[in-house]
Amino acid sequence: MSIRWNPCHIVDSAVFQRRVCGTLEHRESWQTQNNLHIPDDLLNAVSEAASADGKTTDEIAADALRRYLEHRKLQELGNYGREQSRRLGYTEADVSRLIAESRRENRATEYSRTASLTCEPEVPAWLTPTVQSLVDLLRLPQNWDGYGAAQIQEQIAQKVLMVLVEVMENDAPAPSVVPLSDGGIQVEWHRRARNLEIEFPAGQAPSFCYYQDGCELESEGQVSGNYDRIQAYIANLK
């Protein structure tokens, strides 16, 4: 997809490849320069996976390290956001407001038949962690990545919730919520070799991409008009 936040850009790619991944391509060089102390059985498994996927061991190892760094950076951002919550003025009240506003926009007719939004008999399991992740992103300051990233826009967080409420069943798995450098948000799932990414860039229409590991075919398009397809993809992730 067009805009992706990647914390690995803080590492010089040439230095990264040379110092960390440069010896992965040939097993003999690992035997003499295994500075990372990777066990032989794990190295053999990496080599077999690379061969099966048509990739080099360099690419497999780099991808694993990149995913680790992304996960670690997201944890750091979340901790930072929680520490700054009082200074930036976001409280638990904002969580309820975001939920209420997003649902009122797209389900006004349905909810007009209920006495209160807070009286629903069942709250989706994915809702609370997803809203908390969105609130954490809203706490991020300008230039949160050190490279001029924009502050996450509240109206985009509301749009994310509005779409998820439409396409997710109560027992759907919660997505990972990722900030974009333009102030937008991406939600994504990577489960059982199936991958779905829904991108909400600032100033552009939301789009999605679905693909399966080991398969060259992928499905992508605009979110608008494709709710049924997206709902089916999420159902396949359970």
Burial (CB count within 10 angstroms: exposed 0-12, middle 13-18, buried 19+), residue 33: exposed
pLDDT of residue 91: 55
pTM: 0.54
The segments of the chain whose pLDDT lies below 50 read 1-32, 88, 110-121
Distance CA 159, CA 165 (A): 10
pLDDT of residue 38: 74
pLDDT of residue 60: 74
Give me 46's structure tokens: 């990496």
Distance CA 6, CA 51 (A): 26
Distance CA 185, CA 177 (A): 7
pLDDT of residue 174: 96
Cα dihedral 115, 123, 165, 133, rounded to 10, equals 120
Q: Are 194 and 236 in contact (CB under 8 A)?
A: yes
pLDDT of residue 113: 46
Give me 128's structure tokens: 């609370």
pLDDT of residue 55: 82
Give one DSSP letter per residue of 37-54, joined into a string: ---HHHHHHHHHHHHHHT
Q: Are 88 and 140 in contact (CB under 8 A)?
A: no
pLDDT of residue 88: 47
Distance CA 51, CA 86 (A): 51
Sequence spans of domains, the chain: 1-83, 88-238
Give one DSSP letter per residue of 118-134, joined into a string: GG-S---TTHHHHHHHH
pLDDT of residue 54: 82
Give me 107's structure tokens: 């389900």
Between β-strands 207-212 and 194-200, what pairing exists: parallel, antiparallel or unpaired? antiparallel
